[in-house]
A and B are shown apart, each in its own frame.
Chain A
Amino acid sequence: MALLEVDNVHSYYGNIHALKGISLTVEKGEIVTLIGANGAGKSTTLKTISGIVRPRLGSVRLAGEDLSAFPAHEIVGKGLSQVPEGRGVFARLTVMENLEMGAYIRDDAKQIATDIERVFNIFPRLKERQKQVAGTLSGGEQQMLAMGRAMLARPKVLLLDEPSMGLAPILVEGIFDTIQAINEEGTTVLLVEQNALMALQIAHRGYVIQTGEIVLQDDAKALQKNEMVQKAYLGVD
């Protein structure tokens, strides 16, 4: 049994059929990436998993438990923590306050403090700026903050929605290195990306989504060599 199982999920925005039967699995300890073009339904898939969008059909199971009965805020407590697209840090709160908000569902103050230290070890930059208002951080720092904050919920699976979006190329590599580091520390990651090149380099497995349907799935290595992926997403012709 996989840690996260998405089974034949159909999601709608009004009449728009955004997900047309998506199935995917994430095993414990993996980095799985979901790649696809703009508007393919990547964010919708993540939102459906975390309960913000409700599927009309199909199910999402975490460690065997069906999540469809739970509202979004309770799903966080079940062990799914999402870094939304465009980061979404609390711009007027400080870095520290943002991190504390990440641990909102927990009440083990001591353990939270050590976890914050852990986040600071991964992102030393945040430690330097812990008293700074988040809105004045650079784009890359905000992304780090959003990821650090999501980790503080101690998720079983960390859901990342296009962490490289809007970042300068030199920073993108750093972000992917950190994702790998987080994963090596033991967090399972479902990574949504348009930047297929980088995502496939760090992921174990990958899925390709097109207009709401999974069209391809394989090991990351194999996908990198796949002709269709190379043409459509890696810019190789």
Chain B
Amino acid sequence: MRCDECKKRQATVHITKIVNGEKTLLHLCEQCAKEKSIFDVSFEFEGEPFSMQKFLAGFFEPIMREFHEKSQPLSCEGCGLTFPRFSQIGRFGCSRCYEAFKGQLDPMLRRLHGKTYHVGKVPRKRGGRMRIKSEIERLKRELQEAVNAEEYERAAVLRDKIKELEQKLGRD
């Protein structure tokens, strides 16, 4: 597959561009992808995980620049990584970076995943409360889907389950 942009090189990156909620798919070579991602913030990456590493740098740059104008570069207390450095290498230095760069993280996560909160497995050590909370979150999403699909019987069952779990959470 040829690159949509330069029509010369092999397209190795597949990008969904979102304009006013409309998605268009682009196939680009690495070079064009990098150029595009720097200048256009409406890009969502769908590239393969490891070759993606290389141009993640370019991808994070616009967010970083935006942020740069607003405040001073800060660094993570855990590992000393600064946000500009992160935007260069595309990787955090330690798990505490997530806390340190919280402000910049949300728009990035929204772009990468469409969401900013976790749903799913929770380590057992985290105990019951956390598990119940995450189960409620999941059921609520399922409920919304059921309502949207006008499956009212399923919705009623889900609503009861949520109520039950919320009571359990209140009791503990």
Q: Does A associate with B in a complex?
A: no
Chain A residues engaging chain B, CB cutoff 8 angstroms:
none
Chain B residues engaging chain A, CB cutoff 8 angstroms:
none
